[in-house]
A and B are shown apart, each in its own frame.
Chain A
């Protein structure tokens, strides 16, 4: 868990792929995010990190307020889709490092379900890449979600806009 998903050396211009799982069971804790930041302090070629955190909103529906989302995925295809998004982001933006984590299972309202962490020498690449990666995840990765609400276990299937 100590290393970047991807690391592109400025000298050898080679990508070293260290496969790690994107999916985590349940919410992504603030401590996990903090620890990820701390692990990059030794990478002193980095001058900018951009972090996107997706949080579960208490949307109001006919059945009541959303209390959480239960995520599932076509995991093999999703891992491939994440891989393609990473490859793509590295070719489009001048990034040093990239991590993506997404929840599976129940994530209660107010908790984090998506953590995108990109690092670069200067800020622009990190800003632009984080937005690009999140947009790609929403449209290309087969992840499904039930928005849960009400004491009787009502739910609706979520659909990204």
Chain B
């Protein structure tokens, strides 16, 4: 099964992709670790960048599952303050 996920990009990652968000067709039951791999394949420049993946507005780790209803965002290092 495949699912359609909208991925949000922020800061320098939006600059690399040239997009604020993008629709991906991904395997159902994908994890954050799998997603990072896919993103690195499509955007090799992102591989060298430090970033976190938020799933439903919570920072996930490589094992975090992504479902078809998930809100996924790629977050570069924080700079608030």
Contact = CB atoms under 8 A, between A and B. Distances in A.
A80 B78 contact: no
Given A72-B11, A74-B73, A157-B11, A80 B57 contact: yes
B8 A74 contact: yes
B63 interface: no
Interface stretch (A11-19, A86-94, A119-127, A142-150): A142-150
Nearest to B56: A77
B81 A144 contact: no
Nearest to B20: A72
B80 A143 contact: yes
A78 B80 CA distance: 10
B10 interface: yes
Contacts of A160: 77-81
Interface residues of B, number: 15
Interface residues of A, number: 28
Contacts of A141: 78, 80
Contacts of B73: 74, 77, 142
A24 B50 CA distance: 27
A139 interface: yes
Given A72-B10, A72-B11, A77-B54, A113 B75 contact: no
A54 interface: yes
A142 B54 CA distance: 10
A50 interface: no
Given A77-B73, A140-B78, A160-B79, 16 more contacts: A76-B57, A78-B80, A80-B57, A114-B81, A137-B80, A138-B81, A143-B81, A144-B10, A144-B12, A144-B76, A144-B78, A145-B80, A157-B79, A159-B50, A159-B77, A160-B78
Interface of A: 54, 69, 71-74, 76-78, 80, 102, 113-114, 134, 137-146, 157-160
23 contacts: A69-B79, A72-B11, A73-B10, A73-B80, A74-B54, A74-B75, A78-B80, A113-B81, A137-B80, A137-B81, A138-B80, A141-B80, A142-B10, A142-B54, A142-B75, A143-B79, A143-B81, A144-B10, A144-B12, A144-B79, A145-B80, A159-B78, A160-B81
